[in-house]
Structure 1
């Protein structure tokens, strides 16, 4: 009999495929729901949609990448509904107001333009996905699975999610206010959201609640690259 309810939040250009191993691996003890953002272009609005769509009054909440930022917004809006939190391969800071922020915006918009001209899959294959995985995962069936997922997205959805990320709120106040068991999980070789960044995220969370975990030999797509390891960590998370 299932005793837990989990809401899973995908990241940028991702869908339920990013959580399929965890859904099946945890199924004996937890029912789950994977959120969908459609063409929403704001992280707080994404969070509000998840809160409307989630089939549970209270739940454990796990967010990967952009989904981690949506998870923080859910806690900001409705902390009473979140029993425990897992943040995977994510970030917490708002867009930099200086040159670094302008460079990030330009880089993201150049990806969007490439996707419009050459298609989502080619953009993922050429410019985006190679930096998202451990080098050992390049040119593997897993890499093709990631490209399949990207291809299911449209440039319109990509643009909406880019705009949401460029306008991302500062998550630090929410992290400092957390009062539920929180796992901060990151691929050791994540080049996009580094393990060092997750050490900072963990340090911002009140000490009784934070647990920091590295997934070895994994890049940014940890739930797909090392599914058994991530599922085992989340099983431990459910025990807290």
Structure 2
């Protein structure tokens, strides 16, 4: 049975983040929806229940957390795992308060919150890319402050991926940008050390929104890696 490509977006993101990968990949594709469920566990359970057979799971940021949880819930079905700009740590001291402040800011002035949130998520060279920023702003505004709160609370109550990453046996591709201050290279190298078969690519001139900052290169890295694994 042919594997299904599962594409999971991150915080305040939709399918458009992964469309270049879907366009380049020649396989059945399932776009996950990270806006409907209150927890990472239930987001992952939706993916597991709405798909059949083997899965190639690709997640960005929050979507990476969901992708890892899919692998935990259905280890015999996930044949490949791609994690972009994501993390594995449990909740850190002071994180709850910082994230609640961001929720409050979103309800007070969602457009203003997004305006301040986006630039640090991208490489410095992208800060003047009006078209990209406008596109990401429109995407986030469409999703809204209520879903933003739900996703932030899901992150606050996230599973501790460090507890089960060592049990992951499928090949893993890790991607991040040289200018990702939220999920830096060091974090991905820690994940790489925890799993049996992991490859890491650090992309120049990219920040936390790697899949939209460098869409063609991201799609190429993922599809080339998938093809190489088919040949093994």
- How far the C-alpha of 1:107 sits from its partner, in A, is 1.9
Contact 1:39 1:161 in 2 (8 A): no
Q: Distance in 1 between matches of 2:138 and 2:128?
A: 13
User: CA RMSD for the aligned pairs?
Assistant: 1.3
Q: Distance in 1 between matches of 2:209 and 2:3?
A: 25
Aligned residues: 226
Contact 2:173 2:199 in 1 (8 A): yes
Q: Distance in 1 between matches of 2:53 and 2:39?
A: 23
TM-score, normalising length: structure 2? 0.93
In the alignment, structure 1 residue 224 sits paired with structure 2 residue 221: no
- How far the C-alpha of 1:37 sits from its partner, in A, is 2.6
Cα deviation code 1:189-231 (max 9, x no counterpart): 111100111111111111xx11111111100001100011111
Contact 2:40 2:65 in 1 (8 A): yes
Q: Distance in 2 between matches of 1:65 and 1:31?
A: 23
Q: Distance in 2 between matches of 1:122 and 1:14?
A: 17
Matching residue within 207, 211, 225 for 2:199: 211
Q: Distance in 2 between matches of 1:213 and 1:130?
A: 22
For structure 2, the residue ranges without an aligned partner over 5 or more in a row are: none
Q: Distance in 1 between matches of 2:30 and 2:91?
A: 30
Moved over 3 A (4+): none
Q: Distance in 2 between matches of 1:32 and 1:237?
A: 17
Contact 2:21 2:223 in 1 (8 A): no
Cα deviation code 1:85-130 (max 9, x no counterpart): 001100001102xxxx22x2222112211211112x321112x111
Question: What residue is the counterpart of 2:98 in the other structure?
Answer: 107
Question: 1:1-240 alignment to 2 at 5 Å?
Answer: 4-26=3-25, 29-54=26-51, 56-96=52-92, 101-102=93-94, 104-119=95-110, 121-126=111-116, 128-140=117-129, 141-206=131-196, 209-239=197-227, 240=229
For structure 1, the residue ranges without an aligned partner over 5 or more in a row are: none
Q: Distance in 2 between matches of 1:57 and 1:92?
A: 26
TM-score, normalising length: structure 1? 0.90
